[in-house]
Amino acid sequence: MDMLINPTVVELSRLQFALTALYHFLFVPLTLGLSFLLATMESVYVITGKPIYKEMTQFWGKLFAINFALGVATGLTMEFEFGTNWSMYSHFVGDIFGTPLAIEGLMAFFMESTFVGIMFFGWDRISAKAHLVVTYLVALGSNLSALWILIANGFMQDPRGGTFDPNTMRLEFSSFVQLIFNEDAQAKFVHTSIAGFVTGSMFVMGISAFYLLTNKRKDIALRSFRIAAVFGVISTIGVVTLGDALGFIDVKAQPMKVAAMEAIWNTDYNTASAPWNLIAFPDKAAGKNLFEIGIPYVLTPLLTHSEDTVIPGIHQLVDEAKPKVVNGIKAMVALKEYNHDHSNVQALATFKQYQADMGYGFLAMQYAPDQDLKKVDASNLASVVDKTAHETVPNVWVEFWAFRIMVALGFIMLAIFAFAAYFSLKNEVEKHPLLLKVALWSIPLPWFACEFGWITAENGRQPWTVYDMLPTFVSASSHSVGYMIFSLIGFVLLYSSFIAAEMYLMFKYARLGPQASHHGHDKAPAGGGMAGQPAFAKPSLAKK
């Protein structure tokens, strides 16, 4: 008999994946956004020929480089962690989920990482126009990279393009078109990429505000501030619009996630007047909100863009899951019989009859005696079904508040960008030190918004790794607790020291700022030498 799944190992694997993914996602948004801001600044340089824009590109490029290295390093963990910690998941969906990851490497990641070297070291080795093309290729590469990763993630949220094959015991890739044109993936790609632009804009705007407040290199700071503020307004509007589109898609694709996001326990059939919970304290054990402030007439139009679409509540969705669990158990028992004897036509036929609900059978395993669905009989069926159906509810409290914090941050940032852009375009930004201070202290906001967005998307997907198909509980590798503790401690130690070093360097170079420029003096030493050494290496000398 095979080992039982150890719930502690599953929980530790989840914890490790969440920590490493959230950590990786600290660096990704800035790479996505800042790369395009750099390309924009450099475009202005190439078009106008004004050296100050080159200096701007190089200065912000230096901060980009510090961030890029950690993005690459922590991305490696993600690429390997599916195999090292989620073997059943990798086996079950590798045929379709691995493909976008491989294509990401081939099409995007190779491109950004190869050209990033030329972007930093190649200033004096290629023409200005060629360098601009290189910068755009880095920006394009990072964003294409996000596209393929989110196509993979979209598959986990709403599995399309794969067909389960009982002979190989996995989802087999069956439609490339369905995989890449998955609505959830498309909307989430644009939403996430633009969230990166928001992050890049806030970063550049906040640091520029600091230079304006401390009277450093105003020529660079004012220009950077303006580009970032305008870029920020446009992107924040985009991020909100696409976020709304995602919610609209999820009402159909992931109703349980939406119900948890809005803390709706019971379906309100008076669709037009259904209240939208502005604030609520959801209690999953009690199955209700301990406290709520709802605004009537908002919910249905907000989520469904109509007045008569019913939005199911958590209790109704749990009830709907119960017959699926019953069918799923039948499907999994038949599948196991078929896998012990591939000539068992009867088992195969039974499996095919209930195949659509097989994921719910997987989910029931943890409540079956000895995790064996064959041991579910008339005496315990009702209790297994009830527990499994309730298992389909994610952590409502986390889902509700993570979503609200993200949305609130989005609107706060929109307001800040709007004021900043308005005064900056009127050339009055220096007259408003309060605005500059707000911009400076708002630098962390987009990071919080991005992380809470990730939590909303992935916490809301629980208890599934692949929605309705494969539960998290059966997805993990069969490691020992000791292995998991070893790797977790290692990641925590490594990652905490990195973040300390990263913050130290970011602060150091941001404070140092772009110094008086020395154009024409940054030629390489005789013999080629460090000919590629960017000009921004020099300004920092002045300080020492």
Partner 1 sequence: MDLYIGLKVLWWVLLGVLLMGLAIMVGMDMGVGTLLRFVGKNDGERRQALNVVGPHWDGNQVWFILGGGAIFAAWPTLYATSFSVFYIVMILLLFSMILRPVAFEYRSKVASSKWRESWDWVFLVSGFLPMFVYGAAIGNILEGVGFHFGWDGQYYQTESFIWYLLNPFAILSGLLAVSMSVYQGGAMLMLRGTDPIASRARNYASVAGIIAIVLFIIGGFMISGMTGYSLISGDPGMPANAVSGQVVHAVSGAWLDNYAAQPILWIIPLLAIAGMLLGAMMLRANKPILGWWLGAIAWIGILGTVAASMFPFLMPSSDNLNQSLTVWNASGSRYNLIWMTIFTLIFVPTILAYTTWCFRVMRGKVNPPNPADDHAY
CA atoms of 269 and 294, how far apart (whole Å): 16
Per-residue contact flags (x/-) with partner 1 for residues 303 to 342, judged by CB under 8 A? ---------------------------------x--xx-x
- Residues forming a β-bridge with 164: 171
**Positions 73 through 102 that interact with partner 1 (CB under 8 A):** 73-77, 79-80, 82-99, 101-102
For 7-29, letters b (16+ CB in 10 Å) and e give: eebbebbbebbeebbebbbbbbb
Q: How far is the CB of 318 from partner 1 (least distance, A)?
A: 26
Out of 487, 513, 514, 517, point to the residue binding partner 1 (CB under 8 A): 487
CA atoms of 368 and 501, how far apart (whole Å): 48
Q: How far is the CB of 181 from partner 1 (least distance, A)?
A: 15
For 98-130, letters b (16+ CB in 10 Å) and e give: ebbbebbeeebbebbbebbebbbebbbeeeeee
**367 near partner 1 (CB under 8 A):** no
**Positions 24 through 83 that interact with partner 1 (CB under 8 A):** 62, 65-66, 69-70, 72-77, 79-80, 82-83
Q: How far is the CB of 229 from partner 1 (least distance, A)?
A: 29
Among the residues of 395-526, which ranges form H helices?
A: 396-425, 433-441, 445-459, 472-475, 481-512
Residue whose structure tokens are 């970011």:
506
**Positions 211 through 230 that interact with partner 1 (CB under 8 A):** none
Q: Which is closer to partner 1, CB of 103 or CB of 298?
A: 103
Q: How far is the CB of 80 from partner 1 (least distance, A)?
A: 5
**Positions 467 through 486 that interact with partner 1 (CB under 8 A):** 474, 477-479, 483, 486
Q: Which is closer to partner 1, CB of 118 or CB of 314?
A: 118
Bond into 51 cis (ω within 30): no
**Positions 114 through 153 that interact with partner 1 (CB under 8 A):** 114-118, 120-122, 125-126
Coil/strand/helix, residue 280: strand
Q: How far is the CB of 210 from partner 1 (least distance, A)?
A: 20
Q: Which one of 108-116, 187-195, 218-226, 429-437 is the stretch in contact with partner 1 (CB under 8 A)?
A: 108-116
Rg (CA), the chain: 26
Per-residue contact flags (x/-) with partner 1 for residues 165 to 184, judged by CB under 8 A? x-xxxx-xxx-x--------
Q: Which one of 163-171, 226-234, 399-407, 424-432 is the stretch in contact with partner 1 (CB under 8 A)?
A: 163-171
HSE, CB side, 13 Å, CA atoms: give it for residue 195. Answer: 29
DSSP string, 9-67: HHHHHHHHHHHHHHHHHHHHHHHHHHHHHHHHHHHHHHHH--HHHHHHHHHHHHHHHHH
Q: Which is closer to partner 1, CB of 121 or CB of 397?
A: 121
**Positions 335 through 354 that interact with partner 1 (CB under 8 A):** 336, 339-340, 342
Task: Calculate the CA dihedral of residues 186, 190, 191, 196 and round it to 10 degrees.
Answer: 140
Q: Which is closer to partner 1, CB of 62 or CB of 461?
A: 62
Can you say whether the dihedral through the CA atoms of 258, 263, 266, 268 is positive or negative? negative
Q: Which is closer to partner 1, CB of 105 or CB of 287?
A: 105
Number of residues in contact with partner 1 under rule CB under 8 A: 95
Q: Name the DSSP class of 182.
A: -
Q: How far is the CB of 446 from partner 1 (least distance, A)?
A: 22
The CA-atom distances, in angstroms, between 75 and each of 17, 23, 101, 377 are: 12, 10, 12, 46
Q: Would you give the end-to-end CA distance of the chain in angstroms? A: 68
